[in-house]
Structure 1
Amino acid sequence: MDKAEHYRELKAEIDSVVAGETSITARYATAACILAQAMAPRFFWTGFYVVDPLKEAELVVGPYQGTLGCLRIPFGRGVCGHVAATGEPIIVPDVHAFPGHIACDSASNSEIVVPVFDAEGKLAAVLDVDSTLLDAFDDVDQAGLVAICNSLLIA
């Protein structure tokens, strides 16, 4: 099976497991778990940073699989903060070359971050995936993760 097909199957699995689930935390936790398990060891850290409703220009760590994550990330700072500020996904082949990269874990070498929007089109969270490999992500990963994130908040 090719990688694009694998992502389609993962999306169908996530959609099936979270169908009817109203808890956003449960939906994020399920997606992080399924992705981390299916893509290991390439996915070293897989999780969500959620827009803090009390500090709307900050992300706070949400459900994830992996080593200890950063607790808070301001919009515009690091890769996740960049995506929160722009609303656009990003692939970073070498995080050490990304200006302002926040090193939550020194084992991370590449990263992909995808925004998650609510039904009104407002940023709700970002999906952050790190790899210990350099240049671990490509356009197929981005398309697959965007598709998963686009349906994640639809109960």
Structure 2
Amino acid sequence: MSFFAPPLTGAKADQYAQLNQQIGLLIGDERDFTANMANMAALLFHQLADLNWAGFYLMKDGELVLGPFQGKPACIRIPLGKGVCGKAAATRVTQVVPDVHAFPGHIACDADSRSEIVVPLIADGRLIGVLDLDSPKPGRFDEDDRAGLEAAAGLLLAASQLV
């Protein structure tokens, strides 16, 4: 299958509407969670401006473990409550961090990262993992990103057969 994702245009909210439509088309009828995460990470990494990492961490044996991603090699395991990913997982609340260097306990997997957003993946009340995006640009993420990425995570979870 060949997939073409045209560049995103318009205001940020419009771009996320386009992006989430692209995610829906990319996933299609595929139910495999790992395959869908891998394609979604690639799409986010290539479609959203100013990213240096996009990917997933999955809950395994009480901690977050690296899943499909795009970008430099990353930290493999993150304890709940530690760093931005661990806090998002522990609180089950999306974390929008304009300056990771000012975030207490930030885990620096890539020294070039300056801002981060982490969306918890919750299905049937169960924490599945997190969607994590990093940027070398301070203040890169805002409420439009939060809303758009939470919607994208919802599409992924609804379409996939979860383990």
Same fold (TM over 0.5): yes
Aligned pairs for 1:68-83 within 5 A: 68-83=73-88
Cα pair distance change 1:102/1:123, threshold 3 Å = same
Partner Cα distance (1:121, 1:69) in 2:
28
Structure 1: unaligned runs, 5 residues or longer: none
Aligned pairs for 1:76-91 within 5 A: 76-91=81-96
Query: What secondary structure does 1:153 align onto?
Result: helix
| TM-score scaled by length of structure 1 | 0.94
Which of 107, 110, 122 aligns to 1:105? It is 110
Q: What amino acid is the match of 1:148?
A: A
Partner Cα distance (2:155, 2:72) in 1:
26
Q: What amino acid is the match of 1:145?
A: L
Question: How big is each residue's C-alpha offset from its partner over 1:98-139, in whole Å with a ceiling of 9 and x where there is no partner?
Answer: 110000010111100001122x13111101000001111110
Query: What secondary structure does 1:60 align onto?
Result: strand
Q: Which residue of 2 aligns with 1:24?
A: 33
Contact 1:27 1:153 in 2 (8 A): no
Kindly report structure 1 stretches of 4+ aligned residues shifted beyond 4 Å.
Answer: none
Q: Which residue of 2 aligns with 1:147?
A: 151
Partner Cα distance (1:13, 1:100) in 2:
35
Deviation of 1:19 (Å): 2.2
Structure 2: unaligned runs, 5 residues or longer: 1-9
Identity in percent = 49
Q: What amino acid is the match of 1:27?
A: N
Deviation of 1:18 (Å): 0.8
Which of 63, 83, 92 aligns to 2:68? It is 63
| TM-score scaled by length of structure 2 | 0.89
Contact 1:110 1:132 in 2 (8 A): yes
Q: Which residue of 1 aligns with 2:54?
A: 46
